[in-house]
Structure 1
Amino acid sequence: METAAVKRKRAEQEDSDNINGDELNDAAGDIDLSLLEAIEKSRPAVETLDLKTLKKLVLSFERRLKENIEARLKYPDQPDKFADCEVDLHDDLQKLRVLAGGSELYPDLVALNAVPSLLGLLSHDNIDIAIEVVNLLQDLTDEDVMDDDNPEPVIVLVDALIENNVLELLVQNLQRLSESDPDEVAAIYNTLATIENLIEVKPAVAELVCEKTKLLRWLLAKIRVKEFDSNKQYASEILAILLQNSTVNQKKVGQMNGVDVVLQAVAMYKSRDPKTGDEEEMVENLFDCLCCLLMPLENKERFVKAEGVELMIIIMKQKKSAYGSAIRALDFAMTKYPPACERFVDVLGLKSAFAAFMGKIPVNKKEKRERYREEMEERIISLIASLFGGIFRGSRRERLLSKFVENEFEKIDRLIELYVRYADRVKAETARLDQLKFDDLEIDDDERYNRKLESGLYTLQLIAVILGHLWCSEHSQVRARIEQLLKLQKLSKQDVKDILQEYHDNIGDLDGPDEKESAQGRIQRFISAL
């Protein structure tokens, strides 16, 4: 009722403006051109955005806010009585948006104590007022206002917003916005944009907003909805941002049944492709969320229990656009988690995996084919290395090894082919880095190693690990084939041992000293066996 009254009042004003405009147009024909020029000159000049202008805008806003509070208290049941001042308050909020063009004034805005007053309006009874505050906050925190050479003014504003509970107020307002009203739908988008802006300025906000608000619950509910819209896409993007680089958030979403929710969301695309580019981007966001969630061990367990392995294999078999994303998710799920590897073998995933390994990868025409195939190649090599690392004995191990024997050892042929290709890349990058050193360009050992990893060394190391597993199987024909192919390529087992030794020496202790020692022990056994 209140909103309707305000909108009715604004409509009356717009009608009045239109009438005046029409009258002016009718009279224009009778007015001398010089008179029009005089009128134009008499118009007030646009004010320069400076401290004086800021103070004037804030003072006007505070006055309108006070009038609105007093009117609502005086006439709580008579919306028409405070409709005028509500329109004025809305207009003053719109005027404040000009401050986005002068971020250097943000500390002054904070010093004038305007932030608490603005944020208080996020819970205003008139949803239009709250929406206008959201629009203002989105403008003030937009990435375009940040001066890379002097980010401090924006940081000052963001700090003040956070200190005054902007996160809680934004999410509370988000929960009351409707999906049926176009203005409120836009406000949902702008709310998410504001939260993203705050995270961009202060990365710690990513965990803070999940700790202090119910945003995660709202996001999960949004991506659960079957119908696609722009806000569902944005919700998936914000969720991915919150999950990346935050183990705390990953575990929290897992505890909220988030793994199952994300699996249900991607399951909608197991046998169909997204209809638009925006929908395709949303699916990629959902898989980003899934891969982030699969970092903590407990979420890998939830993934297996929710039949995530089976779903990813179905997606691979359907050969739709999510094919590559399914391989990526499986790679995350099976890394250092034997139960996922065992389930993969039990539900007949080896056939699909080795078809991809042999290069039978469906390529979406929209993809950059070469880069896409290369990425899938690296993922499937990682996946197979994880299978070997997660399945140590028994019939599952035999089924995995048998894949390299069938069809006259074609998988070993492919493995050596890949080894040679990635070894050549690493060799070329090593030569380039040696030239840099020759040219007296400083590059330390860590940077040198990282650049080699980026050029393909990591994938080459995984191929060497797979060769180590195959050699240690003590299958005489497998060993003979590996030696024969290495010799044909003018390589030797020593080359493989050198790659394994470099891998061994650079294993970190991110998972703890015990895990590091165990991993190095496995690699050392390969080196000794070769």
Structure 2
Amino acid sequence: MSSIDDIFKKPSHPSNIKRKLEPARDPTEIYKAAKLDANGDTIRGKEPTVEDAEDDDVAGPELPPDFEEDIPDDEEGRFFGGGVTKDTTNALDYIDKHENEGAASLIVHLYSYMDEPSNGLARFMASEADLDVEIKTLSILSEHPKLYNEFAELGCAGSLVSLLTHENTDISIDAIEILGELIDEDVEAEEDQWDAIVNSMITTAFLTQLDILESLSSRPSIADRIGQESGIMPWLHERISRKEKRVSQNKQYSAEMLAILLQSSSKNRLRFISLEGVDTLLQLLSVYRKLDPQKDSDEEEYFENLFDCLTCVVDEDEGKDKFIEAEGIELAQIMLREGTLSKPRALRVLNHALGGRGGLRACEKFVEAGLLRTAFGMFMKQDKSLTEHLLGIFSSLLRLLPGDTSGRIRTLAKFVEKDYEKVTRLIKLRREYKSKLSVVEQDISQEKSSLSQDGLDALEGEWLSRRLDAGLFSLQVRFLLI
């Protein structure tokens, strides 16, 4: 019987076979080499072996020689790093560096198709859906106001404005939204950046779009240009006059935009007066001489905006003259006697019409129309919402009417009639306002005691506002009247 060694003896191979196998190891030695002792240690065989070096590292490619952890782990292996490798950090730095370049590339890309609005856009997009997407990508420009100058110089602003009249309303809406974002008050743009893009828009006559008119009118210089150099003023004049069965939101918004323009610029007021705007406003308001608009409706806002417009224009001497010629004082008289919502607003208009150096004619007309009785009757009813305007009217009458005229004599007679009851009320009001103002003055004095000179200068405007809220102006008028 053959032994185990004979069975596993290396067989002989022909010499023509080139591949040679390694000699087989003795199975007994292999078995003994793998046998474990009771303690778990391996029993070494007699053959010399190469001991593996202890290596706790995970298998993988070698780290670069200059690798260095930013913040190493602690002794217990907890992770304190930022979670961002150097490669990631470099990538983020690269993105920040070239972010503006990407926005600039977008501008140039769009300009190549928008430089010829008449046919370039049609050539640019085979479908309007793609054009819609491309327009929306301009939203990112509001985050990079430093590119506004380049955007304007390339003519992109004007081309974008041209889309406002696109036959596809979705594209027009997109253009309006983008324009609104670019000039939004929250955009952190410098003065020259904001002016660059706005001036470009103005030259393209986009001002017929009321959705962004309010943002533009926030700058007095721009408000002047809107009223003088564009057709917006005549258009607004026509729009608020258009007859409608029910006041629409567009009509109300047009009246609001007109009020904003008139409040911001004397030049705009004069131009509106030259368009016979005073007569138009009086005709529109005559509807409400006895009838009040529906509460909390577009018509009520429209009604208030018309009064705001009229109040602005009668501040100008030319507006006062037009107001008298169009029988505005007579209309106000009817509203004071029969109106409800129109009463305080009509009184405010009269206060502005009679004030200023050019208010003499209005004061004389006020007396001739018999409004002294109406005004002093309202004064004795002690309605605080009307008192301020009534005192302003009395002050204008006594200051502007000549001493030897019947108008001044009739005004003074109203103060002394019925045992000086009007004068008594004036003195009572003076005491009330003086008491309120003294409390505010005490608070201000305490605040001043703990402030430096720089702090005093910084808070002077705030203190004046608090004094006015407490009735400083009204108190001064009462002293003047008494």
Q: Same fold by TM-score, threshold 0.5 exceeded?
A: yes
Which AA in structure 1 matches 2:370? Answer: L
TM-score, normalisation: structure 2? 0.69
Residues 379-398 of structure 1 deviation map (CA, whole Å, 9 limit, x = unaligned): 11111111222323333333
Quote the RMSD (CA, aligned, Å).
Answer: 3.3
Secondary structure in structure 2 of the residue aligned to 1:51: helix
Separation in structure 2 between the aligned mates of residue 61 and residue 406 of structure 1, nearest angstrom? 78
Which AA in structure 2 matches 1:295? Answer: D
Give the direction of change, closer, same or farther, for the CA distance of 1:406–1:213 in structure 2 (3 Å limit): same
In the alignment, which residue of structure 2 is the partner of 1:159?
Answer: 195
In the alignment, which residue of structure 1 is the partner of 2:437?
Answer: 426
Q: Give the helix-richer structure, 1 or 2.
A: 1
Which AA in structure 2 matches 1:160? Answer: A
The counterpart of 1:320, out of the listed 324, 337, 340, is 340
In the alignment, which residue of structure 1 is the partner of 2:269?
Answer: 250
In the alignment, which residue of structure 1 is the partner of 2:206?
Answer: 170
Residues 157-214 of structure 1 deviation map (CA, whole Å, 9 limit, x = unaligned): 532333325365213xx3xxxxxxxxxxxxxxxx2231221233x4311001112111
Secondary structure in structure 2 of the residue aligned to 1:403: helix
Give the direction of change, closer, same or farther, for the CA distance of 1:460–1:167 in structure 2 (3 Å limit): farther
Separation in structure 2 between the aligned mates of residue 387 and residue 306 of structure 1, nearest angstrom? 21
Larger Rg: 2
* Alpha carbons 2:111, 2:155 under 8 Å: kept: no
Separation in structure 1 between the aligned mates of residue 228 and residue 220 of structure 2, nearest angstrom? 14
* Alpha carbons 1:118, 1:133 under 8 Å: kept: yes
Which AA in structure 2 matches 1:244? Answer: Q
* Alpha carbons 2:289, 2:334 under 8 Å: kept: yes
Give the direction of change, closer, same or farther, for the CA distance of 1:157–1:402 in structure 2 (3 Å limit): same
Residues 111-150 of structure 1 deviation map (CA, whole Å, 9 limit, x = unaligned): 765324323444667676555423321232233x424xxx
Gaps of 5+ in 2: 1-94
* Alpha carbons 1:67, 1:85 under 8 Å: kept: no
Give the direction of change, closer, same or farther, for the CA distance of 1:126–1:415 in structure 2 (3 Å limit): same
Which AA in structure 1 matches 2:349? Answer: A
The number of residue pairs the alignment matches comes to 377
* Alpha carbons 1:342, 1:390 under 8 Å: kept: no
The counterpart of 1:387, out of the listed 394, 397, 422, is 397
Separation in structure 2 between the aligned mates of residue 157 and residue 102 of structure 1, nearest angstrom? 10
Q: CA deviation at 1:109?
A: 4.2
Residues 237-293 of structure 1 deviation map (CA, whole Å, 9 limit, x = unaligned): 211221124221111111111111222222222222221424323322222211211
The counterpart of 1:303, out of the listed 323, 326, 333, is 323
In the alignment, which residue of structure 2 is the partner of 1:216?
Answer: 233
Q: CA deviation at 1:451?
A: 5.1
* Alpha carbons 1:65, 1:89 under 8 Å: kept: no
In the alignment, which residue of structure 1 is the partner of 2:423?
Answer: 412
Separation in structure 2 between the aligned mates of residue 64 and residue 111 of structure 1, nearest angstrom? 15
Give the direction of change, closer, same or farther, for the CA distance of 1:209–1:251 in structure 2 (3 Å limit): same
Q: CA deviation at 1:88?
A: 3.0
Separation in structure 1 between the aligned mates of residue 251 and residue 460 of structure 2, nearest angstrom? 41
Give the direction of change, closer, same or farther, for the CA distance of 1:452–1:226 in structure 2 (3 Å limit): same
* Alpha carbons 1:312, 1:330 under 8 Å: kept: yes
* Alpha carbons 1:119, 1:166 under 8 Å: kept: no
Separation in structure 2 between the aligned mates of residue 326 and residue 165 of structure 1, nearest angstrom? 38
Separation in structure 2 between the aligned mates of residue 312 and residue 225 of structure 1, nearest angstrom? 23
Secondary structure in structure 2 of the residue aligned to 1:339: helix
1:354 paired with 2:369, answer: no
1:146 paired with 2:166, answer: no
Gaps of 5+ in 1: 1-46, 75-81, 175-190, 362-372, 468-530
Q: CA deviation at 1:428?
A: 2.4
User: Percent identity at matched positions?
Assistant: 32
TM-score, normalisation: structure 1? 0.63
Secondary structure in structure 1 of the residue aligned to 2:415: coil
* Alpha carbons 2:351, 2:393 under 8 Å: kept: yes
Separation in structure 1 between the aligned mates of residue 115 and residue 427 of structure 2, nearest angstrom? 77
1:137 paired with 2:137, answer: no
Separation in structure 1 between the aligned mates of residue 231 and residue 149 of structure 2, nearest angstrom? 30
In the alignment, which residue of structure 1 is the partner of 2:480?
Answer: 465
Q: CA deviation at 1:103?
A: 5.1
Give the direction of change, closer, same or farther, for the CA distance of 1:131–1:116 in structure 2 (3 Å limit): same
Secondary structure in structure 2 of the residue aligned to 1:440: coil
Aligned pairs for 1:86-235 within 5 A: 86-100=128-142, 106=148, 109-110=151-152, 114-122=156-164, 129-143=171-185, 145-147=186-188, 151-152=189-190, 155-166=191-202, 168-171=204-207, 174=208, 191-200=209-218, 202-227=219-244, 228-235=247-254
Which AA in structure 2 matches 1:283? Answer: F
Give the direction of change, closer, same or farther, for the CA distance of 1:139–1:72 in structure 2 (3 Å limit): closer
Give the direction of change, closer, same or farther, for the CA distance of 1:111–1:339 in structure 2 (3 Å limit): closer
In the alignment, which residue of structure 1 is the partner of 2:361?
Answer: 339
Which AA in structure 1 matches 2:401? Answer: I
Separation in structure 1 between the aligned mates of residue 121 and residue 472 of structure 2, nearest angstrom? 68
Separation in structure 1 between the aligned mates of residue 197 and residue 132 of structure 2, nearest angstrom? 20
Which AA in structure 1 matches 2:199? Answer: E
Which AA in structure 1 matches 2:283? Answer: Q
Q: CA deviation at 1:327?
A: 0.9
Separation in structure 1 between the aligned mates of residue 471 and residue 105 of structure 2, nearest angstrom? 60
